[in-house]
Structure 1
Amino acid sequence: MARRGAVVGTVAVLLGGVGAPADAASGAANSEPVVSGAVVNSGHDVIVGITHNVSFPVTVSGSDDSGLAFADVDLKGPHGGFYTTDAFCQTATACTMTFTVNAHPAPGSDDPVDLANANAGTWSVDALVDAHDEDSVFAPGVGSFGFKRAARLTVNAAPEPVAKGARITVTGKLVRANWDTYRYAGYTGQAVKLQFRAKGSDTYTTVATVKTNSTGNLHTTVKAVKDGYWRWNFTGTNTTGPAKAAGDYVDVRP
């Protein structure tokens, strides 16, 4: 289970009820701050492997007649996944903070690892925002993002060179990060595209789609037609990021 992350800065205090201005009891006429949304990692999935910590920004946007001052943000995911941090707002309408995910315990450290495989999937963003006039508002579910396990792909096309019209065997393996064991392991039963790029071209074309076996291995045969590069392309799932193998060049002889 992902555990509570380090909190940076001063903890925001909600003085009223959820969404209520902090100075409501005083009868002040200030308008309540508004949270319009949150963007995680510049709109990209957060993809984590097993060896390196991953840091990513979260920007909460909104407005208030006195300007936004401070934001406290919680990230919530499947099976109790949770991170929290806070920051002073950089502008009157935006507050950006950085989260860091620990993919593996530091050598000799007793610190727990933040993630388990069950935490992968769609996460949500809750934000508590303070304005300069001390009004506050709590905005649950103002954003969402994919929190995914990293994947890797290999490819080998053989024989090289090959006679035109002969068969080429293309193999490979799809693995993904296991956050429970700190290893990469074969990803079973996944559809992976076999793609070809002719020599002199910049574009890959899908030739076939093959499913990985029980150990994540891929295997198929194709006819050799022209010189070019072969690769596997995995587009990812709800819990796992995409991966592309580097193209393997095959010289086709007349």
Structure 2
Amino acid sequence: MRTRIRSAAAVVVGASALSALALPAVQAAPAGPSAPSAPSAPAGPADDVQGDTQISNVIVNDGKSIVVGSTGKASVTVKLTASDPNGISDAGGILYHGADVNHNDWGVTLPSCGKHLVTAYTCTFALKSTSARHFGVSKNAQAGTWKMWAYAIGADGDYRFRDPAKTFKVLRATKLTANAAPEPVKKGKTITVTGSLTRADWESHKDIGYGSQSVVLQFRKAGTTNYVNVKGIKSTSTGSLKTTVTAATDGYYRFTYAGSATAGAVSATGDSIDVR
């Protein structure tokens, strides 16, 4: 069995592999003014390979953006396939925000995949929002593009480090409301649609108004299933929304927001209007 591992990328095979990754356990950032310290970089190069160990089919959150509410917590599932002709001793990785795994401001460590003496094994890592372990963020500046550093270790001592093995989005959750009035209303009269757009603040753990954002008013005619665009408006500095339309037929009005580079998309629940 080959056991030689370059000293620059020293990794302990088996259950202790994560000891080479000087990162805190997966946990939320603490509440309060003190920010968490950035995770330490893994030992050795961030992108390196020895032998024929491979990493493939990396999937974070089923390929969808991770949308995180004001608590800063979210449940995330990560999958990767580790392969080696002699079997897998261990595999795992780090989800992080930063230029690369050696230059990050926050990250979470995946639990160990463990030993699987088959030529290819798909590891599934579940980061659940519990008091002990969850995907956590603490600064609004951490919204946007995240990356995953991944490793796989063969049973023969071969290994593969990949950075990034995957890029994905971590977004601040948004909420949207809509209210159409008056109700009922006479045909041809004015309907006023109001609402508000808020965005999760990971630092204050509150939802705050999201200003100067483009929002679309949509209408769904009663008895149909599809909404159509009516007009676009922008939220005020406090996230408030207000516009008017002419009453024509029964149906439902709602606002919808397409999201941004740091905030998730959202649609309000449709509010019914009775036109007489």
Does TM, scored on the shorter chain, surpass 0.5? Answer: yes
1:66 aligned to which of 71, 83, 86? 86
1:133 and 1:185 map into 2 onto residues whose CA distance is: 53
How many residue pairs end up in the alignment?
229
CA change 1:137–1:198 in 2 (3 A) is same
Amino acid in structure 2 at the alignment position of 1:129: A
1:204 aligned to which of 221, 227, 243? 227
**How is 1:176-187 mapped onto 2 (pairs within 5 angstroms)?**
176-187=199-210
Which residue in the other structure is 1:115 paired with? 138
1:19 aligned to which of 45, 48, 51? 48
CA change 1:199–1:238 in 2 (3 A) is same
Contact persistence 2:71–2:202 (CA under 8 A): no
Shift of the alpha carbon at 1:76? 1.7
**How is 1:121-200 mapped onto 2 (pairs within 5 angstroms)?**
121-200=144-223
CA change 1:15–1:116 in 2 (3 A) is closer
Detail structure 1 runs of 4+ shifted over 4 Å in the superposition: 13-18
Q: Secondary structure at the match of 1:124?
A: strand
Which residue in the other structure is 1:96 paired with? 124
2:65 and 2:143 map into 1 onto residues whose CA distance is: 11
Which residue in the other structure is 1:6 paired with? 25
RMSD: 2.7
1:213 and 1:207 map into 2 onto residues whose CA distance is: 19
Which residue in the other structure is 2:11 paired with? none
1:18 and 1:172 map into 2 onto residues whose CA distance is: 48
Per mean C-alpha deviation after superposition, the further-off stretch among 173-182 and 53-62 is 53-62
Q: Secondary structure at the match of 2:141?
A: helix
1:45 and 1:115 map into 2 onto residues whose CA distance is: 18
Amino acid in structure 2 at the alignment position of 1:80: D
Amino acid in structure 2 at the alignment position of 1:201: T
Shift of the alpha carbon at 1:95? 1.6
2:230 and 2:45 map into 1 onto residues whose CA distance is: 60
Q: Secondary structure at the match of 2:176?
A: strand
Q: Secondary structure at the match of 2:48?
A: coil
Give deviations 1:231-252, integer Å, cap 9, x for gaps.
0111111111111111100000
Task: Check if 1:56 corresponds to 2:76.
Answer: yes
Amino acid in structure 1 at the alignment position of 2:122: A
For structure 2, the residue ranges without an aligned partner over 5 or more in a row are 1-22, 28-41, 99-103
Q: Secondary structure at the match of 1:237?
A: coil
For structure 1, the residue ranges without an aligned partner over 5 or more in a row are 22-30, 107-112
Contact persistence 1:231–1:248 (CA under 8 A): yes
Shift of the alpha carbon at 1:228? 0.0
Which residue in the other structure is 1:27 paired with? none
1:40 aligned to which of 33, 49, 60? 60
CA change 1:218–1:129 in 2 (3 A) is same
1:18 and 1:141 map into 2 onto residues whose CA distance is: 8
Shift of the alpha carbon at 1:136? 1.0
Amino acid in structure 2 at the alignment position of 1:217: S
Shift of the alpha carbon at 1:19? 2.7
Which residue in the other structure is 1:236 paired with? 259
TM-score with structure 2 length normalisation? Answer: 0.75
Contact persistence 2:72–2:138 (CA under 8 A): no
